Amino acid sequence: MPVKKDKNGKYLVRIDRQGIPRKNKTFDDKVEAEIFERQYIAKYKDIQQQNLDNRTLRELVESWFIYHGINLSDGERRKTKLLYACAELGNPIAQQLTPEKFVQYRYKKTSTGVDRITAKTFNNIHGYLNAVYHKLHKLKVIDYNCPISEIDFIKIQERQLSYLNRAQIDTLMESILSGCVNKSTWYVAQICVRTGARWGEAESLTRKQLHDGKITFEFTKSKKTRTVPLDSSFYYQLILHAGNRTPDQRLFDNCISAFRRSVARTDLQLPKGQMTHILRHTFASHFIMNGGNILTLQRILGHSDITMTMRYAHLSPDHLMDAVAYNPLADE
């Protein structure tokens, strides 16, 4: 606040600014008071500048990976995406990243250029960056809050998840059987459709993960094991395929490329980004349509949040049927 003259004719300096120790002092001369005020503020601004965390955004990402990211199942992938974003943002001082700069970056990535990305992909990057700041603040590695936490994510129109009907499943499996040299492809695809497993979970199975008519999936996205039973005839086929493998030997060869070629030999039009994940959606969708319980499905799929599983709830035979019974024209 400006220097003021008090009732005694003295000039009062009252300094009350965030980050600077409060100070009240009186002077006989106004010029002397103003000089003191300027010098006092300048002194503590210099101290603040010296204490400023000058680590770059890239350095924060590297610290995040050491303290937390390395323990995530997709930590390496996140780190790669984060470092790429750091470079595109110009690798600013992490504390000085502003909402305006980030929103400008978002516009550039989602609206311009030949390499623009989808809103969903950018929301993932936004979420990853938020998580870096929040985790490091929680661990006391930084003492400031996330500078972009108040920026809203891009709203995305929710779409119904695609799945294969029984005829399409048969078409796909026939294409695999008739055209694949890699025999693992059929088994992996069958496991995904029968259990809702992710392709990588099924493809990397070892002999010890088959037991008592069930499959136990390890090294999952949630880092929790889950066990799913199989019908006896298919389980018997898997046991025959496993043969004399030792407990830690893999059951299948890498076969995702063979699966893609199998799809290409059919007239199936799969949504972008769902080449193998469509099998997981297919299991979940049919499970609910056949009357399965949503909480049971959550456990089978290994979702840590029921919100993810609820995407399939609308496929339940009695989903929201009260809309038929209780709508205004229900008695006509």
Q: Which position has the higher pLDDT, 1 or 268?
A: 268
The answer to whether 55 is a known catalytic residue is: no
Across residues 247-269, what is the average pLDDT? 96
Q: Which domain holds residue 18?
A: 4-51
The answer to whether 137 is a known catalytic residue is: no
Does 222 share its domain with 301?
Answer: yes
Does 206 share its domain with 294?
Answer: yes
Is residue 325, in this structure, part of any structural domain at all? no
The answer to whether 241 is a known catalytic residue is: no
Closest CA to 210 of 237, 181, 175: 237
The pLDDT tens digits for 185-238 are 999 999 999 999 999 999 999 999 999 999 999 988 888 899 999 999 999 999
221, 241, 261, 311: which one is catalytic? 221
pTM of the entire predicted model: 0.70
The pLDDT tens digits for 66-118 are 999 998 888 999 999 999 999 999 999 999 999 999 999 999 999 987 788 98
Q: What is the CATH number of the domain that holds 296?
A: 1.10.443.10
Note whether 15 and 40 are within 8 A (CB).
yes
79, 126, 280, 281: which one is catalytic? 280
79, 106, 126, 198: which one is catalytic? 198
Does 93 share its domain with 232?
Answer: no
The answer to whether 221 is a known catalytic residue is: yes
68, 303, 311, 319: which one is catalytic? 303
How many domains, in total, are found in the chain? 3
Report the distance separating Cα 171 and Cα 205, nearest Å: 25
> At residue 65, does pLDDT exceed 70?
yes
Q: Which position has the higher pLDDT, 2 or 60?
A: 60
Report the distance separating Cα 1 and Cα 16, nearest Å: 8
Does 302 share its domain with 207?
Answer: yes
Residue type present at position 186: W
pLDDT band for position 43 (50/70/90)? confident
Across residues 313-320, what is the average pLDDT? 82
The answer to whether 4 is a known catalytic residue is: no
Does 241 share its domain with 101?
Answer: no
Q: What is the DSSP letter of 270?
A: P
The answer to whether 312 is a known catalytic residue is: yes
Is residue 89, in this structure, part of any structural domain at all? yes
User: What's the mean per-residue pLDDT of the chain?
Assistant: 90
Closest CA to 64 of 121, 128, 124: 128
| Tally of residues, the chain | 332
Six token digits for residue 133 = 């700041």
Q: What counts of helices (H) and strands (E) characterise the chain? A: 14, 6
Six token digits for residue 225 = 């094991």
Q: Which of 13, 32, 51 is the last residue of a domain?
A: 51
Does 303 share its domain with 249?
Answer: yes
